[in-house]
Structure 1
């Protein structure tokens, strides 16, 4: 990569500025939210700093990755070109007319989002970025203590040219599914952490079972998971009766309790 420069794009935390100025040689941070629709929130913006000008921060980012939330990126393009692209991909459309902000700077989101891109999509989203890396994990990987370094390469970065008015970006089916999986696994992870009787895979199977049965609210799914965990190994009814979630969950619990009693009496 000719004339490649390396940068850290760090998620905002309350102590981030102080840490950068204490550890960095020349922080000179660029705020990602500046000159965007998020400028009102610029004080909480992710910060972009040069690794060349801040070798101590760069070394600590690699040596103590759990202490830093963010991405490491390389590009041979000018800083302003890189910044323009990073700001552009903040804003996405999905499900037709809906718009949102993509928190691609968060290593958790990155662990779902970037692996969902195919080769042509990767060129679009990385643009002038030659190489992207981060330390993180999906929620499932966190449950299995499998955090690791991820990396993505963009072989067409040096040929990339910025458009005067870049077209708005839309999430494809793969990215939408990946980000939905992130939310589903996050919900399950927080429930799963409070118990010790199930593997994450078994808990996920119960969650899918509950969602397929029509339970979609957080409260109902929490209750469903609690009931299924209490009566592990007991066959569920083929169908649950119509009615409110509370009524259907009560029927499920009564049915499983009865099947458990029958199983014990024939043991």
Structure 2
């Protein structure tokens, strides 16, 4: 075990290697995808570099987080141990036999994923990592411009030991819901950017309405949001009739339009 060390785990960008060697004192990057199933895509891999050996890049990382996208990783374990763990948590199981890649290296995903871990899960996922730091920016943060630096600590890192066997990690209910929320907010953010009448939180409330009314496709939810925005002063019907999404959206629009007309006539 060594003293506390810090590394920067930087997301791939076309110009990242050039910037590392231009600003770094000793970049010597390690590719996260090497020695994994993602090795065929190693040219697009996130890169791990020592923060202590590259103070200029470390300073830029905190001063310009939008230009240096990634995570700061602190640990008292060796580089080899930390790198092996970072590679291990790239691959996750879910829904029984399904397997996927967790892009935890991007601050956007990290902002949803790591806060969803309880104390027991934190030990499993962070393992030898004492703390992760990143510029937190959920899709809602982007909408309301409230991004900030966060530090996710792992108080049990000092007691962590390399496991005898390396078993696959599976997403729990909290992580699955957090990643689903990320996708939901991403969809909403791109719709919300195209209009100027609603706050993001109000738009999210309408989106929840639409999903509770069993609209699930992107096209149907976009149409639902458009209709609700047009008649935002009118409460939506408690229930919608059965039928196709198109028929139910038509019923919603006619109902809201009729109530809006009635409200104007009594104004």
Structure 2 CA distance, aligned partners of 1:239 and 1:259?
Answer: 15
Q: Which residue of 2 aligns with 1:11?
A: 11
Q: Which residue of 1 aligns with 2:43?
A: 43
CA-atom RMSD in angstroms: 1.2
CA offsets, 1:5-58, max 9 Å, x none?
110000101111111111111111000000000011100000000011111101
Structure 2 CA distance, aligned partners of 1:53 and 1:256?
Answer: 62
Task: Spell out the pairing of 1:17-28 with structure 2 (5 A cutoff).
Answer: 17-28=17-28
Alignment of 1:227 onto 2:224: no
Tell me if structure 1 keeps the 8 A contact 2:61–2:68: yes
Task: Spell out the pairing of 1:166-205 with structure 2 (5 A cutoff).
Answer: 166-205=166-205
CA offsets, 1:224-265, max 9 Å, x none?
000000001113223222221111111111111111111111
| More divergent stretch after superposition (59-68 vs 45-54) | 59-68
Structure 2 CA distance, aligned partners of 1:8 and 1:115?
Answer: 20
Task: Spell out the pairing of 1:1-267 with structure 2 (5 A cutoff).
Answer: 3-267=3-267
Structure 2 CA distance, aligned partners of 1:103 and 1:157?
Answer: 22
Structure 1 CA distance, aligned partners of 2:244 and 2:221?
Answer: 13
Structure 2 CA distance, aligned partners of 1:132 and 1:38?
Answer: 23
State the SS of the aligned residue for 1:59: helix
Structure 2 CA distance, aligned partners of 1:104 and 1:238?
Answer: 39
Structure 2 CA distance, aligned partners of 1:175 and 1:251?
Answer: 36
Structure 2, unaligned runs of 5 or more? none
TM-superposed deviation, 1:209: 0.5
TM-superposed deviation, 1:2: 5.7
TM-score by length of 2: 0.97
State the SS of the aligned residue for 2:66: helix
CA offsets, 1:169-214, max 9 Å, x none?
0111111111111111111111111111111111111101001111
User: Which consecutive aligned stretches of 4+ in structure 1 deviate over 6 angstroms post-superposition?
Assistant: none
Tell me if structure 1 keeps the 8 A contact 2:32–2:87: yes
Structure 1 CA distance, aligned partners of 2:170 and 2:220?
Answer: 32
Structure 1, unaligned runs of 5 or more? none
TM-score by length of 1: 0.97
CA offsets, 1:58-100, max 9 Å, x none?
1110111121110001111111111110000000011222211
